[in-house]
Amino acid sequence: MFKAAEHFLLVPHDGSFSLKKADTDPGKKAPDENACGRRLAECVAEIAELQQVLYAHDRYALLLVFQAMDAAGKDGTMRAVLSGVNPAGCQVTSFKTPSAEELDHDFLWRTTRHLPERGRIGVFNRSYYEEVLAVRVHPEFLTAQRLPNGAGKKEFWQERYESIRAHEQHLARSGTAILKFFLNVSKDEQRRRFLSRLDEPDKHWKFSEKDVAERAYWDEYQQAYEEALNQTSRPWAPWYAIPADNKDYMRLAVAEIVRDTLKSLKLEYPQPDAEALTRFEKMRASLGGQKKR
């Protein structure tokens, strides 16, 4: 059976990723819309069950990082994949333009405050990667950060990648499983989605003139993404380049990765010790119950 997770691109850890060679569409081998929807529903149900065990197990956290060009489908994918998860066990944080307070701290500070605690799933809609993506394309943004001399030079970006790698490895060592998704939409598909936001009244609220203006920097963003993914895809914090022109396939692929990662953690409900079981029997007796045979 075709498995979406076998056809997305796991970004290699040796720096050989080429964005020009990465698919934006899965092609004819992808399941049709009905098959994707059916299998997505199955994945969502499994993720919901696994999240409950994750919460009870209380040894790991799961961090999902979503990065993409505008209109790639981040919001819809997060909503579709996590629709069955108990809200108490999941937190979504969207990162916009940094505030004055955030600019007074290092670039990892504002995201670190929103990391998921053990037992929960945390979702970053954009993240600290904006500091080597949007800021890389628009280095003038660094002025507001009031950094020491040398900011913006080649060594500066290498140092930021180094900080990100160290940060993610520390999180992984501390029990946070990290999955990073680059939703790879084509420039033509982005144009069509922007036009639909102009043509359909119920999508007008999504339209942003700033997003359209950023299309002028498409090539610069592609270069920034390629380098960022090559510099920071590691076994403990892998990047996945997901073809995003087909939304049904994209959502299924992400769901399969999340489900399979949770399964790999070997989660289980905590088992009470003998002393606790003895107390349980006393409580059962006090409640007038009998032990099931």
Predicted confidence (pLDDT) at residue 110 exceeds the cutoff of 90:
yes
pLDDT of residue 210: 87
- Of residues 203, 164, 182, the one with CA closest to residue 126: 182
Share of residues in the chain with pLDDT > 70 (%): 96
1 or 293: whose pLDDT is higher? 293
Q: For the whole model, what pTM was predicted?
A: 0.93
The CATH classification number of 4-286 equals 3.40.50.300
Predicted confidence (pLDDT) at residue 137 exceeds the cutoff of 60:
yes
Give the confidence band of 239 by pLDDT, cuts at 50, 70, 90. Answer: very high
pLDDT of residue 6: 56
b/e per residue 253-286 (b: at least 16 CB within 10 A): bbbbbbbebbeebebeeeeeeeeeeeeeeeeeee
d(Cα 47, Cα 6) in Å, to the nearest integer?
A: 19
Cα-based distances in Å from 70 to 35, 218, 244: 27, 11, 11
pLDDT, averaged across the chain = 93
Predicted confidence (pLDDT) at residue 1 exceeds the cutoff of 50:
no
d(Cα 184, Cα 170) in Å, to the nearest integer?
A: 28
